[in-house]
Amino acid sequence: MPINYAGHMMRQAASVNALELKEHWPGFTLTRTGMLGGEILRLIEKTDSPSRLIKYLPINFNVRCVIHQGKMNTLRNSARAVQQALFDDGKLPKEMYLCHLTCPRCAEERGGDKILLLRRWQISDTLTRRLDQRK
């Protein structure tokens, strides 16, 4: 994750405007977590741009979502709950994405901090077989 988060967001917005791309929801960003491989994503409409800045998400992009009410330091509990629910359903958790739904200035007026937590998953035959054996 870049050290200068706000600066990276502004450069990314400038790149989207310079390439004349249209966003599904202007200003909506997803932050992919990762110790060494985090990144910030913007969802744009389908395009055939030759730019190296455009990346495509996997075709089977299945996600489980939860809205976490609280600050980042309490996000761990919600992330664990989503991960455990996926394991219980026989699904293999993959990347985790975050999106802040309230800005720091207006969070108090709108009932506190709200963070959208998305966890991508894939169907796992191994987990499904293990769950079937336990039942």
Instruction: Give the confidence band of 111 by pLDDT, cuts at 50, 70, 90.
Output: confident
Same domain, 69 and 130: yes
Domain boundary among 56, 85, 100: 56
Same domain, 81 and 122: yes
Domain boundary among 17, 41, 56: 56
* Total domains in the fold of the chain: 2
Beta bridge partners of 32: 39, 97
Q: Which domain holds residue 34?
A: 1-56
Average pLDDT over residues 45-63: 79
Q: What value does the mean pLDDT of the chain take? A: 84
Percent over 70 (pLDDT), the chain: 96
pTM: 0.74
pLDDT at residue 117 tops 90:
yes
Structure confidence by residue, pLDDT tens digits, 67-99:
999 888 899 999 999 999 999 999 999 989 888
